[in-house]
Structure 1
Amino acid sequence: MRFILATALLLFFPFSFLLAQQFGGNPPSLKWQQINTDSVRVIFPRGMSQQGERVANIVDYLNRYTRASIGNQQRKVSIVLQNQTMESNGYVQLGPFRSEFYLAPAPASQDLGSLNWVEQLSLHEYRHVLQNNNFRQGISKVASYVFGELGQAAVTNIAVPNWFWEGDAVVMETALSPQGRGRLPAFFDGFRGLTLAGKDYSFMKIRNGSYRDFVPNHYPLGYLLNTYGRNHYGQTFWKDVTSDAVRYKGLFYPFSRSLKKRTGKNITAFYTATLEEYASAWKDYAARKDTTAAVPLLSVAKPVTNYKYVYAAGNNEWVVLKDAYNKIPGIFLLDAAGKEKLLVRPGLVYDDFFSYKNGRIVWAAARFDVRWGWKDFSVIRVWDNATGRTKTVAARGKYFSPDISANGQQVIAAAITPDMQYSLQLINTATGTVTKKLPNPENWYYTYPRFTAGDEAVISAVRNVKGEMALVQQSLSDGTATLLTPFSYTVIGIPAVSGDTIYFTAGGKDVNNVYALTLSDKKTYAITDRGNSALHMALDADKDSLVFSEFTAKGYKLYHAPVQATAWKQVTLDKQVQSAWIQPEFAEGGSILDKVTHDSLPVKKYPLFTRPFNFHSWVPSFADPNYSISLRGENVLNTTSTSIGYTYNRNEGYSRLGGDFTFGGWFPYLTTGVDYTINRNALTRSGARVYWNEATWYAGFSVPLNLSSGLYSRSITLGSKFNLLQDYFQDPRYRDNRFQYLSNRLIFNNQRARAKQHINTHFGQYLVLQYNHSLGDLYAEQLYARLDQYLPGLWPNHSLVLQGAYQERDKVFNYSFSDNFVYARGYNTPFYNRIYKLGANYHLPLFYPDWGFAQILYFSRIRTNLFYDYSQAYDFRVDANTRFTSAGAELYFDTRIGNTIPFTWGVRFSHLLDKDPVDNAQNRVEFMLPIQQLFKY
């Protein structure tokens, strides 16, 4: 079955979901260098040689000593270090074979940990390199020969589930370091929360997720399954299972069949056994007699809702970030009765943390370079309750996690530079200028700085170069830094200052709990001891009770607990007892980070045009009405793109052979290409159909612009292309012509942020303008315009989409340009030289089944669209307008095939309110699949 699914993926689905790179994202002013060894080529911007050397040294060590549990196949990989972005991420891909590290560390430590980010990326991402190298076996190897690297990627991603890819990589980052996500309490909050709530979801639901309920993602799932397999069946167990899977030993469910053969359990039974083992430990831990009693602050909300980053606002009121499955995130004021008042929505951010003090809210909002996709920034935004307005108080920088002073005149924020230098910066909110940059000789990475009670110093959790964490107090007057806790690999969360006491969360035990540190004696105390992790906390105005945000099966919920200083237990963060399951031993030799040498390696220039074509894959694409297969190529820096291929157009029945090349390293994208099209055709003025072949050379440019900010993702693409075309008519009555024309296009897309359950954005526009016109004596012209307007519906997950479209072409019909018009649904294409259409669509969800069968097909959501189309087409031959109106409904099924492939399919019923001039059909039923089927009656 999995082999069949893999074949379907290769034949019917685009490969875009396998691609992660950013095309043309860096400016040409960025100069690149490389370190080249036997196992890796590390490519990095000039000035980043220290990071490049560290990556190369770690990768060489991993390649030499850590392949026993995955396989011995080797292949050299290119790793590109990106230092212009504020995102914290990394990936490995085939097509082309490469990896990219996003070098900015995550501002939070609870989820990804506190390790040196370059080292953690090297451990995790190079495991993906070894996986790809060793999964090229059997049928997967055949696919790599037939379809290239993306063919291998498609087949291996079907054969080996995504939970294994990421779980195995998390195992290795944990096994080969002193920390890793496998030792972080928060990493298990999701599964632990479901267990403690008695939620026993099916394996298919765990694999495919839900629009209705919280389901952990494939990272913790994969870690738990991988660890269980290693513990019970040995270090090389998964190497043997994945080898069977990628070879498709047994065409039906090869991964599960291999598990069954080696363990007696299929994948569902294997998951059940894994969860039972961990669940017993989690239940026992939560059932201890000395756990801290707490009561929910609010009733359980539906759907899943997260309440995070709580602050006391006085009068039994709290300021909190609310993020629900059916609402976009907003900062709300809550009262004791549970009443909620929206204060402000932060919009696009890299980290959803905010700070509140004396009626003012501050956060770091995301900003983007207009042209270069890898360059992004943040600005400091402040909302003031006194005015109800939000203003930007700092120019674009690279800021995280700001805090505001009691008088609102200053903001302290963590900052980062492209060369990975970290600092705390003091910003004047009136002028927006940086008034002070605190000294940081050790290059600590600051997380969540907070003003002390008198605004004379800053408290921050910091990470040193090894990845150990400590709480630090730093003077704002002279920059002197004082350690409040010793450095250790215990993760420290967000501090909250209350007089002489610092409250914070930390992962000293099996879960993240609330701790307190008294500045007078620097003693640390455990405040809570709960069954699942706390994220953030705040004292109420009387300082006799604590409200904290704790993870549950319904998201982060607020809990209320009394503060009894007499019951505090003094602790040392890194000396608390943790259960054995959170201190795993994988027999991989332990941490390698102190073993890897710091060898100085030769650094050379990396030319921008290195391997500009770099063909890697045959890529099929089925985007009705065009069906194509092309040989694709991109260079490693992703500034060039090449395609050579064949396309069949279902509307006209023509075939096209062609190739194109695009360079994206300058401000505009520059494109050139050639096509030869066979059997193009069109209706003449007399109604006859004429056929011809055509050869075309074209060259042009486009400029993609990113204007996103606030709540809106916004882009504009402008472009123009010159075409030189030669016609070859099949009917001797028509004379062959050489034809030149310009094709000009503008695309504008503006989309308000969407919540998880939203089908469409609640407000947005999609505008396309295209104008083609001839140059020279042979006249031809076509104008096309389309506007989609998105509006909210009657309920939160409903949406109304209004559409208008217009197309006009000349009456001479010397040449027929490509037709992109959106016709009234249900009708055949009429003859016209001018046509317009108005449409209305009302989208709404019907059910969230969360059901599937046989690990083949899983239904996440069933939704419908009620539509009405009105169109008029002008036929100049008879000087008359013909009306086309239809109404109907579309039923969509949002599914996943094989627990892997997102696949939306549906059926459309159209009732024709006007006669179709082509036939007499009154109703049509269309199945909306990659290849459409049509019934009429």
Structure 2
Amino acid sequence: MLFCLGLSGASFGQYYDSGQDPFRLKWRQMNTNRFQLIYPEGIDSLAAQYLWNLESVAQQEKRTVTYFPKHIPVVLHPNTIISNGEVGWAPKRMNLYLVAPQDNYFQPWNEQLSIHEFRHTVQLSKLNQGATRFLNLLMGEQATGFILGWHIPLWFVEGDAVCFETGSSQAGRGRVPDFNMRLKAQVLEKGIYSYPKAIFGSYKDFVPNRYELGYYLVANGRNQFSNSLWDQVLDKVARSPIHPNPFSASIKKQTGFSERNFYMQSMLGLHDSPIDRVKNEKAVKQVVNSNSNDYVNYYNPTKTDDGMVAFKTSYSSIPAFVSIDANGNEKLLHQPGYVFDNTFSANDSLLIWNEFKNTRWENENFSRIVVYNLRTDKLDYLTSSGRIFYSRLSPGADALLSVEVDEKINWTLTLRDFKTGEVFKQFAFDTIQPVQPDWAPDGKSAVFVGISFKGKSLGLVDLVSENIRWILKDESMEFSQPKWTGKGIVLKGAYKNTSNFFLYDLTQNTWSLLTDEPYGVNEGNITENSFLYSTYTSDGFKIECTDSAFTKDLRGIKPSAFQLKLADNLQQEETQVVFSLPHQSYPSKEYHRFSHLVNIHSWAPLAIRVDNQEVGLGLTLLSQDVLSTSFLSLGYQRHEAEAYDEYFIDYQYKGFYPLLDTKYSLIPFSSYQPRDSIPRLVEGVQHIITQTWQVPFYFNRGKWYRLVQPELGYNLALVDYKPNLYFEDQNKYIHQINAGLYAYNLMKQSYRDLYPKWGQSVYVTVRNVPMGSYAGSQFVAYTRLYFPGLAANHSFRVYAGFQKQDQTGWPFYNKLATPRGYYTLSSAQMLSTRAEYAFPLVYPDVNYCELLYIKRIRTNLFYDVASYDNRYWQQSVGIELGYDFHALRLITPFELSFRYAYQLSEQSHFFEVNYAVNFNALYGNSEKNSIPDK
């Protein structure tokens, strides 16, 4: 679940765009005093359940953060398969994405979302007091988001919400054994990281995320000091926003520790915690040969005739299926697209997995079934769309068993013909979400986990009679990943607060413990005499194999509920939320999207230009609708250097399939011009109107991101002179028509990649002024090509461009890249080429006085050349030294580079400093980070 900061908006007017739903949807709404619930037509009963759940959470007594939020819009998104939730400020709204994940814990998804996201609403609403309230009056909703983004670390934002979901219910991530697995392994095996490294991450080492770290810090603070600790911290931040660090100051006042020392003391408690293991004499060996200390995960190891296959992820390379021989040597098989749950189904010749498929609409996407033949290296898509998960190949390789969900969030177990992909049988469930199914060895039955408001269940379904036998029923504990073997059901569950594997003997109805791992396990597979599984270490999930899993098992041990004092204390500190079916009906009425396009949420005594991330002197009003389709900024800007005023309206509409962008500027002018040798006052107004239409077509396939986007634009510049006695009407109109095409084919990037390993992008545009004394045209075309470098995460890039334009007409600005160290020249024809070699130098993870944390230092070697009309040449060669860092403890990453260029044409030197702010990193948007700018 994601919390959306307002920091980027407060700084540059770049408010969080949560994506659009298909235009075909018709929207409805239900309203209470606290919520305006907006949802697509056709899911009224589900919408009523969500509204009832939110009201149930809102009516709970607030004991640890004492504040009752005001009215907030909530938008339901049932068409995306990305399981998430988010609360955004500027504008204020909550987005809930309704498709539950397959690794869901023992609580229905609608309850989890309601608890967690409502807590974010409480956090933000509580900041609207004291001096921050005054800032809200001055700047609108963006002020709250700015104060939170500037002063409050994300580990608190998410950790407090996880504590609330754990304390307010019988479930929550605080009761899931694997939730603290990564943090515990890191502390016990690698030691306690510095505080900046823990909150900002690292390119060198794996760092647990803000949910895991935050839960432990927030819960430990409440447990060790006071359950009102964080309530008082939020009060301090809200009332003292101009304090250099009110968050840390409040922690110091209440605990005696600085923020950094509070973190260290909490981690020491985790470092000293024992690992409680049973005595087990099983012979366990690690399978993969590796001399690297890099963070690498191997998921779902599966035995084949040639050894085994597994799904591998790492920091240095993109995810891939690999084969591993008997000696532990691995071979790359295939690099897929996004694989759901890092899982797959396999036999000796086939791999089957579910892969993400995107569309124009960010809030409508699909998962399709992919089949890869290990023998022929052939890839097929069994389905082109659908919302399909956890597909499993039958023992006879003639059918697929999957979990599916429709747009009304109805869940089914589905049987498909493997050759045609046609569905021939479905098993529907009224109140249960089926997850993680697996075939019986005879192909006539299946095992699955069911999740309902009563808890988790483990069921066996006869695929012929449709009868269900429940082995575990309505349990308030965590278990998952059932596998049906000839000896019984293998199940991942908790034993002494750590996930391990168990065996349920179907003939004797008895349980046995199969593994005894210190941190946790993931997806195992059983053959005749061995058990392959992944066990967690601080360097990732590693494959282990035991040949004696069934001869030296520990009988009588069954999965148990997670019992940890930290979670139990949280439950005592919170009021329990009791969920049920709605006890009242909520009237539903139509929601007219076009009547809500304007939603002014913020304003500022500054000119904020969203399109170019520019802030200047002036005034601005900012508007965004809650459906994230309509974006408006209007205001006034004073251009002091050029000594003129501008009144502007910038508007984007993304609700249609084409993207529409309209800009209008009004610029008054006055000057003295000679007339009869006497200066005369000339006054008037310049009007500039720009309209752009873009139509994106996505063709993503596997590891390749692909886009073809035609563009059409129209510009009108009108100079309207005020009539006077000395000058005739000289009004001037300039019409400009633009047409272009942008396309790319780019390989997805690994975490450490600076650029795609392979890829191509191209941009072609024609701009034309068709009439008048300024008639003329310009043609521009350029491409970027990406190639792998000499080592991992190195990249070689080539840029080439051509531009031709009329010099007697309108003076079009240059759109080609100029050699570094030079200014562009005016010419009728221009050729430009760049060659670059970029690579990371070191990942220092160095902290300076808590004010500067450097994650990566990188280098870029370049050679640039350009010709103008084949007569004038510019050439430069040089080096750039870049730093990726965090400053002033802001979560937003900064990039700073120092550039040296030697100008070969002039034999002179050029130095330059550049900087950038990566706002995409706030939202984990790795796909957008891999797409180059035009």
Same fold per superposition (TM over 0.5): yes
Give the match for residue 850 of structure 2: 855
SS at match of 1:333: strand
Q: C-alpha distance in 2, partners of 1:692/1:839?
A: 44
User: Is the aligned partner of 1:512 residue 2:504?
Assistant: no
301, 307, 313: which one pairs with 2:304?
Answer: 313
Give the match for residue 922 of structure 2: none
Q: C-alpha distance in 2, partners of 1:726/1:528?
A: 77
Give the match for residue 926 of structure 2: none
Q: C-alpha distance in 2, partners of 1:756/1:185?
A: 27
Give the match for residue 303 of structure 1: 294
Q: Deviations over 1:512-554 (max 9, x none)?
A: 1001112223332221232111011123x441x3232111111
Give the match for residue 275 of structure 1: 267
Mapping 1:154-233, distance limit 5 Å: 154-233=146-225
Q: C-alpha distance in 2, partners of 1:759/1:512?
A: 36
User: Is the aligned partner of 1:359 residue 2:355?
Assistant: no
Q: Deviations over 1:901-935 (max 9, x none)?
A: 211111111110113xxxxx81111110369xxxx
User: Is the aligned partner of 1:411 residue 2:403?
Assistant: no
Q: Deviations over 1:538-571 (max 9, x none)?
A: 23x441x323211111111122334353543445
Give the match for residue 95 of structure 2: 100
Per the alignment, do residues 272 and 905 of structure 1 end up closer, same or farther by CA in structure 2, a change over 3 Å counting?
same
Q: C-alpha distance in 1, partners of 2:183/2:373?
A: 39
SS at match of 2:191: coil
Q: Residue 461 of structure 1 contacts residue 493 of structure 1 at CA under 8 Å; is this kept in 2?
A: yes
SS at match of 1:196: helix
Per the alignment, do residues 741 and 594 of structure 1 end up closer, same or farther by CA in structure 2, a change over 3 Å counting?
closer
781, 786, 803: which one pairs with 1:785?
Answer: 781
Deviation of 1:715 (Å): 2.4
Q: C-alpha distance in 1, partners of 2:719/2:524?
A: 73
Q: C-alpha distance in 2, partners of 1:807/1:247?
A: 56
Q: C-alpha distance in 1, partners of 2:667/2:865?
A: 34
Q: C-alpha distance in 1, partners of 2:871/2:260?
A: 61
SS at match of 1:610: helix
Mapping 1:817-836, distance limit 5 Å: 817-836=812-831
Q: C-alpha distance in 2, partners of 1:364/1:672?
A: 40
SS at match of 1:828: coil
Deviation of 1:260 (Å): 0.8
Give the match for residue 790 of structure 2: 794
Per the alignment, do residues 448 and 284 of structure 1 end up closer, same or farther by CA in structure 2, a change over 3 Å counting?
closer
User: Is the aligned partner of 1:633 residue 2:623?
Assistant: yes
Deviation of 1:701 (Å): 2.6
Mapping 1:446-465, distance limit 5 Å: 446-465=434-453
Q: C-alpha distance in 1, partners of 2:815/2:796?
A: 23
Give the match for residue 490 of structure 1: 477
Q: C-alpha distance in 2, partners of 1:639/1:611?
A: 10
Mapping 1:391-402, distance limit 5 Å: 391-402=380-391
**Aligned partner letter, 2:827:** Y
Q: C-alpha distance in 2, partners of 1:277/1:291?
A: 30
Q: Residue 494 of structure 2 contacts residue 560 of structure 2 at CA under 8 Å; is this kept in 1?
A: no
Q: C-alpha distance in 2, partners of 1:898/1:882?
A: 46
SS at match of 2:628: coil
Per the alignment, do residues 108 and 897 of structure 1 end up closer, same or farther by CA in structure 2, a change over 3 Å counting?
same
Structure 1 stretch displaced more, 838-847 or 133-142: 133-142
Q: Residue 623 of structure 1 contacts residue 930 of structure 1 at CA under 8 Å; is this kept in 2?
A: no
Q: C-alpha distance in 2, partners of 1:740/1:577?
A: 70
Alignment RMSD, CA only? Answer: 3.0
Q: C-alpha distance in 1, partners of 2:876/2:138?
A: 45
SS at match of 2:481: coil
Q: Deviations over 1:866-893 (max 9, x none)?
A: 011110112xxxxx62100101011110
Per the alignment, do residues 716 and 652 of structure 1 end up closer, same or farther by CA in structure 2, a change over 3 Å counting?
farther
Deviation of 1:124 (Å): 0.2
Mapping 1:583-598, distance limit 5 Å: 583-594=568-579, 598=583
637, 643, 659: which one pairs with 1:669?
Answer: 659
Percent of aligned pairs with the same amino acid: 25
Q: C-alpha distance in 1, partners of 2:828/2:686?
A: 22
**Aligned partner letter, 1:553:** S
Q: C-alpha distance in 2, partners of 1:679/1:210?
A: 52
**Aligned partner letter, 2:343:** F
Q: C-alpha distance in 1, partners of 2:51/2:570?
A: 26
Per the alignment, do residues 650 and 562 of structure 1 end up closer, same or farther by CA in structure 2, a change over 3 Å counting?
farther
Deviation of 1:9 (Å): 7.0
**Aligned partner letter, 2:337:** G
Q: C-alpha distance in 2, partners of 1:143/1:834?
A: 52
Give the match for residue 679 of structure 2: none
Per the alignment, do residues 56 and 8 of structure 1 end up closer, same or farther by CA in structure 2, a change over 3 Å counting?
closer
Per the alignment, do residues 148 and 719 of structure 1 end up closer, same or farther by CA in structure 2, a change over 3 Å counting?
farther
Structure 1 stretch displaced more, 479-488 or 797-806: 479-488
Q: Residue 696 of structure 2 contacts residue 707 of structure 2 at CA under 8 Å; is this kept in 1?
A: yes
Q: Residue 7 of structure 2 contacts residue 146 of structure 2 at CA under 8 Å; is this kept in 1?
A: no
Give the match for residue 379 of structure 1: 368
User: Is the aligned partner of 1:928 residue 2:930?
Assistant: no
Q: Deviations over 1:40-86 (max 9, x none)?
A: 11111112222222222232233333434223253211010000011
Mapping 1:638-717, distance limit 5 Å: 638-645=628-635, 656-677=646-667, 694-717=686-709
SS at match of 1:923: strand
Per the alignment, do residues 295 and 582 of structure 1 end up closer, same or farther by CA in structure 2, a change over 3 Å counting?
farther
SS at match of 2:182: helix
Deviation of 1:26 (Å): 2.1
Give the match for residue 588 of structure 2: 603
Q: C-alpha distance in 2, partners of 1:62/1:275?
A: 31
Structure 1 stretch displaced more, 91-100 or 484-493: 484-493
524, 527, 539: which one pairs with 1:537?
Answer: 524
Deviation of 1:506 (Å): 1.5
- TM-score of the aligned structures, taking structure 2 as reference length: 0.90
Per the alignment, do residues 719 and 677 of structure 1 end up closer, same or farther by CA in structure 2, a change over 3 Å counting?
farther
Q: C-alpha distance in 2, partners of 1:134/1:244?
A: 11
Deviation of 1:672 (Å): 3.5
884, 904, 921: which one pairs with 1:894?
Answer: 884
Deviation of 1:192 (Å): 1.1
**Aligned partner letter, 2:531:** L
Q: Residue 204 of structure 1 contacts residue 855 of structure 1 at CA under 8 Å; is this kept in 2?
A: yes
**Aligned partner letter, 1:67:** K
Structure 1 stretch displaced more, 841-850 or 456-465: 456-465
Q: Residue 160 of structure 1 contacts residue 246 of structure 1 at CA under 8 Å; is this kept in 2?
A: no
**Aligned partner letter, 1:522:** N
563, 567, 581: which one pairs with 2:566?
Answer: 581
Give the match for residue 57 of structure 2: 62
Per the alignment, do residues 623 and 368 of structure 1 end up closer, same or farther by CA in structure 2, a change over 3 Å counting?
closer
Give the match for residue 552 of structure 1: 537
Give the match for residue 254 of structure 2: 262
**Aligned partner letter, 2:55:** D
Per the alignment, do residues 271 and 643 of structure 1 end up closer, same or farther by CA in structure 2, a change over 3 Å counting?
same
Q: Residue 645 of structure 1 contacts residue 659 of structure 1 at CA under 8 Å; is this kept in 2?
A: yes
Give the match for residue 685 of structure 1: none
**Aligned partner letter, 1:806:** F
472, 488, 503: which one pairs with 1:501?
Answer: 488
Per the alignment, do residues 260 and 724 of structure 1 end up closer, same or farther by CA in structure 2, a change over 3 Å counting?
same
Give the match for residue 110 of structure 2: 118
Q: Deviations over 1:80-129 (max 9, x none)?
A: 000001100010001110010010001113xxx23111111000001111
Per the alignment, do residues 116 and 236 of structure 1 end up closer, same or farther by CA in structure 2, a change over 3 Å counting?
same
Q: C-alpha distance in 2, partners of 1:650/1:481?
A: 76
**Aligned partner letter, 1:494:** Q
Aligned residues: 891
Deviation of 1:379 (Å): 1.4
**Aligned partner letter, 2:586:** L
Per the alignment, do residues 811 and 693 of structure 1 end up closer, same or farther by CA in structure 2, a change over 3 Å counting?
farther
Q: Deviations over 1:746-803 (max 9, x none)?
A: 2223321111111111112232222221233341322222211111111111001111
Q: C-alpha distance in 1, partners of 2:150/2:384?
A: 46
Deviation of 1:37 (Å): 0.5
462, 468, 472: which one pairs with 2:459?
Answer: 472
